[in-house]
Amino acid sequence: MIKASFSEQVIVITGASSGIGRELALQLAPQWAFLALAARNNEKLTRIAKECEKFNGRVLAIPTDVSRPQDCAALIQKTIDTYKRIDILINNAGLTMYGNFEDVKDLGLFETIMRVNYLGSVYCTHFALPYLKESHGRIVGISSLTGKNGVPTRTAYAASKHAMAGFFDSLRIELAGSGVTVTMIYPGFVATEMREHALGADGKPIGKSHLNESSVMPVERCAGMILAAIEKRKRELIMGFRGKIGLWLKLIAPGLVDRIAQKSILRGRT
């Protein structure tokens, strides 16, 4: 029998109760990975843990709010207490928004999103790093194409994803020669519940998606691409032809990229 790619690898996934995090867990469980799943919603977290256990894998469900450093420290410590090591940390927890900046009524919206998307990744990475250095492990940041290009109606979200990119790109250089690799993932819009939980300009959940869901990438495909990039310890993964061509166009025609982004949002597609 060919050994599975992630067999007996201890993998921490934040934001594991839904969306990309949930799908990553479901694709890793049959490969006999040792999972530590983290999310704020304990009910959903317990549900996904039970789904993963059907594959006879080892699963640890740890309720975690990544915006709280003490929760992140507890997540890593409980993982170590159970599995004795960490091989891969996937910083996936995220929160998005929808609304023009001039319509924002509560600037706390920016702090909330920054704490979850950016600081949550910083906290988890900080506490996990000593163990990842011992295992010559892998750090993964699930960013977004908005971490490469600005997008209207997503000012707080884009800022947090740009911050993630700067942090992990800098950390990659610091860790050169340590055996620890850093992989950054830049998906476009993916078919998940994330947009339904987006915060509006008033700082409250919108409860619906503003996008044409038929035009987004299936979450199963997205997760499969992410795992392939993690396995190869790739530096970064830019998803989709439009994402790749957009980065090239930004170098030679940045104004055109801005107009494309504006039209895409107005049409309700990426």
**Stretch 235-262: mean pLDDT, rounded?**
67
**Alpha carbon distance 161, 148 (integer Å):** 8
**Stretch 221-239: mean pLDDT, rounded?**
95
pLDDT of residue 174: 98
Closest alpha carbon to 89 in 39, 54, 137, 135: 137
Q: Tokens at residue 198, please?
A: 């987006």
pLDDT of residue 181: 98
pLDDT of residue 190 exceeding 90: no
pLDDT of residue 269: 45
pLDDT of residue 266 exceeding 70: no
**Alpha carbon distance 176, 15 (integer Å):** 28
pLDDT of residue 1: 38
pLDDT of residue 149: 83
pLDDT of residue 19 exceeding 80: yes
Work out the mean pLDDT of the chain and round it to a whole number.
87
pLDDT of residue 270 exceeding 50: no
Residue 61 bridge partners (DSSP): 37
Percentage above 90 pLDDT, the chain: 68
pLDDT of residue 213: 53
pLDDT of residue 248: 52
Of residues 67 and 247, more confidence is placed in 67
Helix (H/G/I), strand (E/B), else coil: 182: strand
Q: pLDDT class for 180, splitting at 50, 70, 90?
A: very high
pLDDT of residue 211: 55
Q: pLDDT class for 184, splitting at 50, 70, 90?
A: very high
Phi, psi for residue 264 in degrees, rounded to 5: -65, -45
**Stretch 205-220: mean pLDDT, rounded?**
68
Nearest 5°: the CA angle 122, 128, 134 is 140
Percentage above 70 pLDDT, the chain: 81
Of residues 191 and 45, more confidence is placed in 45
pLDDT of residue 194 exceeding 60: no
What is the pTM (predicted TM-score) of this model? Answer: 0.88
Of residues 176 and 210, more confidence is placed in 176
pLDDT of residue 76: 98
Q: pLDDT by residue (tens digit) across 32-58?
A: 999 999 999 999 999 999 999 998 779
pLDDT of residue 2: 46
CATH (residue range 10-242): 3.40.50.720
Residue 88 bridge partners (DSSP): 11, 138
Does residue 222 contact residue 190 with C-beta atoms inside 8 Å? yes
Closest alpha carbon to 115 in 142, 97, 132, 95: 95
DSSP character string of 35-97: EEEEES-HHHHHHHHHHHHTTT-EEEEEE--TTSHHHHHHHHHHHHHHHS--SEEEE-----B
* Residues annotated as part of the active site: 157
